[in-house]
């Protein structure tokens, strides 16, 4: 039963040793030195003291890693991740034990019986942002209603690929009895399919939070009868052939060991060969396979290999009907990262048919 799925959530930390307390005004140099030695810091007074410490860590790291090239950015993020995750906040009765802290609904939702534990400051920040998105909802171009992304589920913050898919669906002339959405995430593609009159969408995701979140948001509405969910890798339990398979996979090759949250961003070596082999079995003879991708990996020099081009050249399973491309808008002026490559980034919609 989907309702019995275990939620992906931060593991509560129990502290066995004395933590080094930190409040604004304490010696930041000594605190960063302690963090570099692997010692944990506890924020003692105000939530903002923790935010201030994070800013000081960023300033310190920028002196060593100017954060200009893609490689430097990767190293900077890795070091920042290590140090920032040694900063802890205490939680008692599902509330943060510092002054002027945000109220985060996930704490009650995820830890109803755990009345005393710690989480890292980045975990708390992530939960706080996720709670705001979940509570307020996100408007997606072309969708009538806002989506309410569940904690730990990827949702689009740029919409070029969503618009590309919507435009393709407007022109689609094939049958609309069933479709399979592989890696449903927060459900955008499935909702687009239903909005374009597909009678039934079978959707999967390896992330339990995606399934829990969609199950919760659909409730017992008409949507819950049109979109059927399964937790599982790639196609999960869906074996029947269908006229349309859609897949919005991760866009970057894995370069390090990834956790559950990263599976929406990085793909491993086996993902695409497995996907195409499984898709072949489930696509009706006249069906279409739509894969949404990007040239991000190529323009950031993460790899020269394009997994869809490789499949078309070597797989002998599918042929290209059409590849649509759309340029990505320039990075926001608010972003702290130097995203020079964005000027040449394009999202891609590949339409493949059976050989």
Question: CB of 2 within 8 A of CB of 215?
Answer: yes
Listed in sequence order, the residues at least 6 apart from 246 whose beta carbon sits closer than 8 Å to its beta carbon are 165, 179, 180, 181, 182, 189, 193, 290, 291, 292
214: left (phi over 0), alpha (psi -120 to 50) or beta: alpha
Q: Please report the pLDDT score of residue 337 as a whole number.
A: 40
Q: Are residues 144 and 130 in the same domain?
A: no
Domain of residue 326, CATH code: 3.40.50.150
Q: Please report the pLDDT score of residue 300 as a whole number.
A: 73
Q: Are residues 18 and 147 in the same domain?
A: no
Q: Are residues 98 and 153 in the same domain?
A: no
Per-residue pLDDT of the chain (355 residues; tens, 9 = 90+): 445 688 999 999 988 778 999 998 899 999 999 999 999 999 999 999 999 999 999 999 888 877 667 777 778 888 899 999 999 999 999 999 999 999 999 999 999 999 999 999 999 999 999 999 999 999 999 899 999 999 999 898 889 999 999 999 999 999 999 999 999 999 999 999 999 999 999 999 999 999 999 999 999 899 999 999 999 999 999 999 999 999 999 877 776 554 545 556 777 889 999 999 999 999 999 999 999 998 777 777 677 788 999 999 999 999 999 999 998 876 444 434 444 445 678 899 999 999 9
Short-list 72, 54, 186, CA closest to 123: 54
Q: Are residues 77 and 185 in the same domain?
A: no
Q: How many domains does the chain have?
A: 2
Q: Are residues 238 and 249 in the same domain?
A: yes
Whole-prediction pTM: 0.85
Q: Please report the pLDDT score of residue 262 as a whole number.
A: 57
Q: Are residues 174 and 111 in the same domain?
A: no
Q: Are residues 99 and 146 in the same domain?
A: no
Q: Are residues 188 and 201 in the same domain?
A: yes
Structure tokens at 153: 């589920």
Q: Are residues 54 and 194 in the same domain?
A: no
The number of residues in the chain equals: 355
CA torsion sign for 160, 346, 268, 122 is negative
- DSSP-assigned letter for residue 251: S
Q: Please report the pLDDT score of residue 253 as a whole number.
A: 79
Residue with tokens 């985060």: 104
Cβ neighbours around 297 below 10 Å, total: 20
Q: Are residues 245 and 114 in the same domain?
A: no
Among 134, 153, 169, give the residue marking a domain's end: 134
Domain span including residue 158:
137-354
Among 83, 108, 134, give the residue marking a domain's end: 134
* Per-residue model confidence as pLDDT tens digits over 67-93: 667 777 778 888 899 999 999 999 999
Question: CB of 327 within 8 A of CB of 160?
Answer: yes
Among 134, 156, 173, give the residue marking a domain's end: 134
Partner residues linked to 267 by β-bridges: 253
- In angstroms, the CA 57 to CA 66 distance is 13
- In angstroms, the CA 206 to CA 228 distance is 15
Q: Are residues 28 and 163 in the same domain?
A: no
Partner residues linked to 178 by β-bridges: 200
Phi, psi of 61 (to 5 degrees): -70, -35
3-state secondary structure of 8: coil
Q: Are residues 67 and 155 in the same domain?
A: no
Question: CB of 84 within 8 A of CB of 54?
Answer: yes
């Amino acid at each position: 039963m989907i309702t019995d799925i275990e939620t992906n959530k931060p593991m509560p930390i129990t502290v066995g040793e004395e933590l080094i307390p930190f409040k604004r005004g304490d010696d930041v140099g000594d605190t960063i030195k302690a963090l570099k030695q692997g010692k944990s810091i506890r924020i003692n007074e105000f939530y903002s003291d923790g935010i201030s410490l994070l800013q000081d860590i960023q300033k310190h790291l920028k002196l060593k890693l100017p954060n200009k090239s893609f490689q430097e950015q990767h190293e900077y993020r890795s070091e920042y991740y290590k140090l920032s995750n040694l900063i802890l906040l205490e939680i008692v009765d599902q509330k943060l034990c510092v002054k002027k802290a945000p109220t985060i609904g996930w704490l009650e939702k995820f830890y109803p019986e755990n009345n005393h534990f710690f989480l890292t400051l980045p975990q708390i920040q992530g939960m706080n942002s996720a709670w705001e998105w979940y509570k307020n909802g996100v408007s997606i171009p072309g969708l009538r209603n806002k989506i309410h992304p569940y904690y730990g589920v990827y949702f689009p913050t740029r919409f070029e690929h969503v618009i590309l898919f919507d435009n393709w669906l407007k022109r689609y002339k094939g049958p609309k009895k069933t479709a399979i959405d592989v890696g449903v995430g927060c459900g955008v593609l499935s909702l687009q399919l239903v909005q374009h009159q597909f009678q039934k969408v079978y959707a999967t995701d390896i992330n339990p939070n995606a399934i829990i979140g969609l199950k919760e948001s659909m409730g017992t509405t008409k949507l819950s009868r049109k979109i059927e969910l399964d937790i599982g890798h790639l196609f999960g339990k869906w074996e029947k052939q269908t006229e349309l398979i859609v897949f919005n996979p991760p866009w970057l090759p894995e370069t390090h060991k990834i956790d559950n949250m990263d599976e929406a961003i990085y793909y491993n070596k086996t993902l695409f060969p497995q996907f195409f082999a499984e898709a072949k079995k489930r696509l009706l003879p006249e069906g279409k396979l739509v894969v949404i991708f990007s040239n991000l990996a190529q323009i950031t020099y993460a790899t020269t290999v394009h997994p869809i081009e490789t499949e078309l050249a070597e797989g002998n399973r599918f042929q290209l009907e059409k590849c649509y491309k759309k340029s990505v808008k320039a990075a926001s002026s608010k972003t702290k990262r130097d995203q020079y490559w964005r000027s040449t980034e394009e999202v891609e919609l590949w339409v493949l048919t059976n050989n």
